Structure 1
Amino acid sequence: MSANPGTIERAPDPQIGQARSLLADGDATRAWQLVHEVLSARPDDPDALCLGGKLALLGGRVERAQELLGRALDVAPDNVEAHLELATLYRRSRRLEDALDELSLALHYDPENAAALFEMGNVRSARGELEAAIEAYRSAVEKDPAMAQAHLEMGYVMLKLRRYADAVEVLERGAELDPSNLSGQNNLGYVYVRLEQYDRALDVFARLCAQTPYSRLGPRLNYGNALSHTGRLGESERVYADVLQHEPNNFTAHWNRAHHVLARHAFAEGWQEYRYRLQVDDVWHRRLIPFAPYKGEALEGKTLLISAEQGLGDQIMFASCLHEVVSRARQVILECDQRLASLFQRSFPGVRVIGSRQEMQPLWLREVGHPDYHLPAGNLPGFFRSRLEDFPRHDGYLVADPERVARWKERLAALGPGPYIGLSWRGGTRGTRRSFRSLSLVDLLPFLRVPGLRFVSLQYGDCAEDLETLRRESGIEVAHWPEAIADYEETAALCVALDMTVSVCTAVIHLNGALGKPVRVMVPAVPEWRYGVSGEAMPWYPSVRLIRQAARGDWSEVFARVADDLGRRFAA
């Protein structure tokens, strides 16, 4: 019986072995010369054809690479390396189906091939099949636990899926296997930031900045960001200033710097920087709103469309500028989150309010005619809040439904005599500094025990366990009505019915402040820019008082000051 020509084992050519060694040492030119010598003598040598294709691909000669690799497979269909190189070529050319075909063949001939599984992960990632990519990378590291790049790519895909806790483990392993991989180190530092492990992030980015030329700006931007999260704002600003000196139009540096400038109330400069968010893909989700951008033109006789952006709190905050716009324009059309639409319509009767989900191509555009100008809501303050003096001393600009307010007053009265204090103790997500903005309900006992007060939960999300733990450990019951949280009209009405609210930094602050209700905010040592860097006042809302943490992690003084304030304000 004759052997299958596709499975004959070929003795390696010494010249090809030498060529591979030269390539490994970075001498592609000499490696190609040896390959050319072999092909001149043996034009159908599959190993020479395969290595020649790899060298051509490395040199950017795609057509030549495809030709040589194809010839190698004509001679030896089981040449796994040729299938792999051709798959890489196809992936880089965005011929992803063809790449998958080549990888299927490579794994058919060698199911244990870690390199083929790794490339399968690359192709799946390029196709947007991120879970399948993770599985392919995981299979690759099972076959070859020392494959650093598979760990690093798997971690990067997990990062894109915001699976930060999973990503950190594989990125740490990848960085341990290949400390010289700068992109992997940068991604690891980024994940540390997302996990709020800022000291670790600073170590990574400081090391990267020391190891790389200044032209590599990514680690420096991340270093500045990590510095800001730890409250080292001056150092962070200097990092961004250095980046902008080297690359004046670096959008991310401008955007990050905006937070520092606005936090110290340099509003005119800060709003100019804030506009750069529109150029940062991770921040701004582009939408198809085809009207002329508003740049400060006279609005008399004109229609201005204001589109929604960011979360509920920001939309409420930016809406504080609407009265100035309405007084100038013939018509104002305001897009907002669906949950705010009826509240906004009642509060701004001269405005046409449209509730939406911030779709990329909004269907409601068909109903608004052709506005003269369009403005993202976050650009409003740049025209009307350039100085601290520009912030009005208002008593509230949102109007809750009076009937709902009356019903909530009745329900509060049924609890017994007041005063009634609203309470929110958790804010943010893993990506928005949740640990800085969230507390245990039991931690609040220093002021929950102030006599004569009845506390009412304004906490969103599932908080039943928190409430039960507090009741069991202290005997204190906090009223909680889920229906008041599920509907923002009900939330607003309940806030008006309450005597005061005490909260961490979350959207309920903006709601109460916009309703003109008194609020005490427990502010972390490193707050978001909206809360400034010092003082008790919040320019956006005269009824809000900020009680600041002196040091990260220590809330004791804040709780004591809240207790003192409540005791004095509501003394029997």
Structure 2
Amino acid sequence: MNRVLPLQDLDVKSGVDARLQALDKLEALVGEVAREKARHRSNIALKRAIQKWRKGDLVSASQWALRATEADENNSKAFHVLAMGLERMGHLHKALLTYERAFELDPDDPELLINLGLTAWNLKLTEGAARMFQLYIAACPDSPLGYNNLGSVLCDLGHPDQGIETLRTALNRMPHEAILWNALATVLAEEGRADESLVFYNEAARLQPDFARAYHNLGYAYQHLGRLEEALENYDEALRHAVDPSERRETSHSRSICLIGAGRLEEGFRAYEIRNEPRFRAYLHHLIDAPRWQGEDLAGKKLLLVGEQGLGDEFMFANILPDVQRAVGETGKLQICVDPRLVPLFQRSFPAAEVGTYDDRTLMDKDGNKALRLVPFASKENVPDLWAPMGSAIQYYRKSLADFRHEAFLTPDADRVASFRARLAAMGPEKKVGLCWRSMMLEAKRAKYFSPIDAWGPVLQTPGVTFINLQYGDCAAEIARAQELFGVTIHQIEGLDLRDDIDGSAALCAALDLVISAPTAAAAAAASVGAKTWFLTAGRSWPQMGTDAYPWYADTRVFWPEKFRDWNALMPEVADELEVFASDAVRRPLF
């Protein structure tokens, strides 16, 4: 007979529960020991990462930080250092995700808020960046970092007054903080108040004599004011103090443009190659199965030159194409890659060349986003012997101002030029002057380089002139405003798409008596086909190369105000010169 087991009393049950609790505690203890061992291994790797970081070896630092995260997936500090490394190496999307992981693990670390904000800002997630900086200020109200970044990002969001007030308030509390003086100066400079920014940048440098960024920004401000030698001195000082590789690249790039602007062309164009360094912020990866051309002899070679940086620069850098066409000779081949809208104009201008277009892509891989440029027509059986960005050819053919021949290098459609001339003649006997006052790209940082239509009154009211619109994009409201304010009609050519029919726009420019424009693609197209072109700039610009013209083109003048962006002073001067031009008078010297 089976025995009936007695029911367990409370003491027996308690004993079982106690033993289970002991097992749970033991299991937890074993887990804690394992976690401690994992954290110990992780911290050893993290220490190595920090040592590599201090030596400037970002790749090794990131590799050790990655090992630290693999050893302990809950080590927030390891993820933080890994994210910093990824960011400095340009892998911004991956850095943002890694910062977010670190923040999930340790939401009480305020430094993560700063770095999250900076990475979001670099990715143009500007509103998110501002929120991170505001949270940091709430957590660390006595640190200058939050105010420094928030003031600047507010400027990018189009709220410069709020940015200035944020920084002024912080400076009243922390007048000894160099980064706040630098940030306030930068907001002023970005608002076109470069002259006012100088005193603040200089104070930042006085407070922190090894502050590389302050010297870089001083160079930027002096450059905008046309004081190029002082700009170069400060760029050189920045390079003496800069440790961060990205800062060195940025300063080297700005310095190269300043050298070109000062007319030191051979040195400047050689230094300008920094833009093709793979870690440069605006680097474009070209997928071309050919070696880079480094200036070697081109006779009999097939060379591909690829346009870069936007329509205006594609026009300007095309200045060297006649030289390259001669260099490859009859037995060689020049391949020209440009924006698709430029293909008809360039093919007509260089009938012996092969002209095609590029295909731009964005690749998302384990290292983040990469901007890619493919050239399908120069691939497979049509691969070139050599290739180069178009701007890189300049260093070999334009070593001094004497190398610029001041001639048209693009050929407009003769039939369309004749047709436009007939249409313009029907408007009356006055001079026909084309106008373009701004770029289509008018975000906060670029707007300061262009004048609003309201400033053009003195020019528009010049007698003896019929104005023709060359402004591409949506400008109907501005044309209507010019009519309302000044009683002047800016005529539009019916049926011509100024944005996409660049060949037609170039033909129209060739039919005009004069083009007056901001430094835009419209002005570059006009000047490239030999049209008389007046550039109106906010200050002295680097394509002038120390002259009062754009030597790249056949017939240009540049007008710029003595004070940066002082349109009210500049426009009457332009109007005076236009009146002389319209009357066919010759301006004689006073003495």
Say whether the fold is shared (TM-score over 0.5).
yes
* CA–CA distance in structure 2, aligned partners of residues 304 and 541 of structure 1: 24
Structure 1 residues 374 and 569: CA distance shift in structure 2, 3 A = farther
- Does 1:226 find its partner at 2:226? no
C-alpha contact (below 8 Å) 1:333/1:351 kept by paired residues:
yes
| Matched ranges for 1:418-497 at <5 A | 418-427=430-439, 429-430=442-443, 434-440=447-453, 442-481=454-493, 483-486=496-499, 487-497=501-511
Offset, 1:546: 3.1
Letter in 2 for 1:241: D
Structure 1 residues 317 and 90: CA distance shift in structure 2, 3 A = closer
Structure 1 residues 559 and 255: CA distance shift in structure 2, 3 A = same
C-alpha contact (below 8 Å) 1:140/1:150 kept by paired residues:
no
> Which whole-Å deviations, capped at 9, do the CAs of 1:260-312 have from their partners, x for residues lacking one?
33223332222222223323723433434342221221111211111221121
* CA–CA distance in structure 1, aligned partners of residues 118 and 540 of structure 2: 36
Structure 1 residues 58 and 147: CA distance shift in structure 2, 3 A = farther
Structure 1 residues 469 and 156: CA distance shift in structure 2, 3 A = closer
- Does 1:236 find its partner at 2:231? yes
Offset, 1:481: 4.0
Q: Secondary structure at the match of 1:353?
A: strand
* Alignment match, 2:416: 404
* CA–CA distance in structure 2, aligned partners of residues 105 and 352 of structure 1: 57
* CA–CA distance in structure 1, aligned partners of residues 239 and 130 of structure 2: 40
* CA–CA distance in structure 2, aligned partners of residues 98 and 397 of structure 1: 50
* Alignment match, 2:81: 92
C-alpha contact (below 8 Å) 1:133/1:154 kept by paired residues:
no
Q: Tell me which of 381, 385, 392 is aligned to 1:372.
A: 385
Offset, 1:422: 0.8
Size of the aligned set, in residue pairs, is 491
Letter in 2 for 1:275: E
* CA–CA distance in structure 2, aligned partners of residues 388 and 569 of structure 1: 30
* CA–CA distance in structure 2, aligned partners of residues 251 and 97 of structure 1: 25
| Matched ranges for 1:105-184 at <5 A | 115=108, 119=112, 122=115, 130=125, 133-134=128-129, 137=132, 140=135, 146=141, 148=143, 151-152=146-147, 155=150, 158=153, 162-163=156-157, 165=159, 168=163, 172=167, 182=178
* Alignment match, 2:273: 275
C-alpha contact (below 8 Å) 1:523/1:548 kept by paired residues:
yes
Offset, 1:147: 6.3
* CA–CA distance in structure 2, aligned partners of residues 322 and 130 of structure 1: 39
* CA–CA distance in structure 1, aligned partners of residues 48 and 165 of structure 2: 33
Give me the TM-score of the superposition, normalised by structure 1. 0.73
Letter in 2 for 1:146: P
C-alpha contact (below 8 Å) 1:123/1:133 kept by paired residues:
no
> Which whole-Å deviations, capped at 9, do the CAs of 1:141-183 have from their partners, x for residues lacking one?
6965836467348638948x95363783586266666556555
Deviates more, 1:539-548 or 1:223-232: 539-548
C-alpha contact (below 8 Å) 1:91/1:123 kept by paired residues:
no
> Which whole-Å deviations, capped at 9, do the CAs of 1:73-97 have from their partners, x for residues lacking one?
xxxxxxxxxxxx9544433345987
* Alignment match, 1:521: 535
* CA–CA distance in structure 2, aligned partners of residues 290 and 152 of structure 1: 48
* CA–CA distance in structure 1, aligned partners of residues 116 and 580 of structure 2: 61
Q: Secondary structure at the match of 1:333?
A: strand
* Alignment match, 1:25: none
Letter in 1 for 2:427: L
Letter in 1 for 2:255: R
* Alignment match, 1:302: 301
C-alpha contact (below 8 Å) 2:519/2:535 kept by paired residues:
yes
Offset, 1:518: 1.5
* CA–CA distance in structure 1, aligned partners of residues 96 and 483 of structure 2: 58
Offset, 1:435: 2.9
* Alignment match, 2:291: 292
Offset, 1:125: 6.3
* CA–CA distance in structure 1, aligned partners of residues 82 and 406 of structure 2: 60
C-alpha contact (below 8 Å) 1:168/1:192 kept by paired residues:
no
Structure 1 residues 445 and 122: CA distance shift in structure 2, 3 A = closer
| Structure 1 stretches lacking a partner, 5+ long | 1-42, 64-84, 108-114
Letter in 1 for 2:485: E
Q: Tell me which of 342, 350, 353 is aligned to 2:355.
A: 353
* Alignment match, 2:576: 560
* CA–CA distance in structure 2, aligned partners of residues 62 and 192 of structure 1: 41
Offset, 1:239: 1.6
Letter in 2 for 1:193: A
Structure 1 residues 422 and 89: CA distance shift in structure 2, 3 A = same
* Alignment match, 2:199: 203
* CA–CA distance in structure 1, aligned partners of residues 457 and 98 of structure 2: 64
C-alpha contact (below 8 Å) 2:288/2:379 kept by paired residues:
no
> Which whole-Å deviations, capped at 9, do the CAs of 1:530-567 have from their partners, x for residues lacking one?
124444x4322222233453444221323212222222
Offset, 1:370: 3.0
Offset, 1:355: 1.9
Bigger relative contact order, structure 1 or 2, given CA contacts below 8 A and separation 6+?
2
C-alpha contact (below 8 Å) 1:120/1:133 kept by paired residues:
no
C-alpha contact (below 8 Å) 1:401/1:489 kept by paired residues:
yes
C-alpha contact (below 8 Å) 1:300/1:328 kept by paired residues:
yes
* CA–CA distance in structure 2, aligned partners of residues 342 and 312 of structure 1: 14
Q: Secondary structure at the match of 1:296?
A: coil
* CA–CA distance in structure 2, aligned partners of residues 123 and 424 of structure 1: 40
Give me the TM-score of the superposition, normalised by structure 2. 0.71
C-alpha contact (below 8 Å) 2:228/2:262 kept by paired residues:
no
Offset, 1:378: 0.9
- Does 1:320 find its partner at 2:334? no
Q: Secondary structure at the match of 2:204?
A: helix
Letter in 1 for 2:199: D
| Structure 2 stretches lacking a partner, 5+ long | 1-28, 50-73, 84-94, 362-371
* CA–CA distance in structure 2, aligned partners of residues 269 and 224 of structure 1: 18
Structure 1 residues 282 and 185: CA distance shift in structure 2, 3 A = farther
C-alpha contact (below 8 Å) 2:462/2:579 kept by paired residues:
yes
Offset, 1:322: 0.8
* CA–CA distance in structure 2, aligned partners of residues 281 and 102 of structure 1: 27
C-alpha contact (below 8 Å) 1:336/1:354 kept by paired residues:
yes
> Which whole-Å deviations, capped at 9, do the CAs of 1:431-470 have from their partners, x for residues lacking one?
6654343243x54343433433211011123322222222
* CA–CA distance in structure 1, aligned partners of residues 124 and 395 of structure 2: 41
Offset, 1:403: 3.5
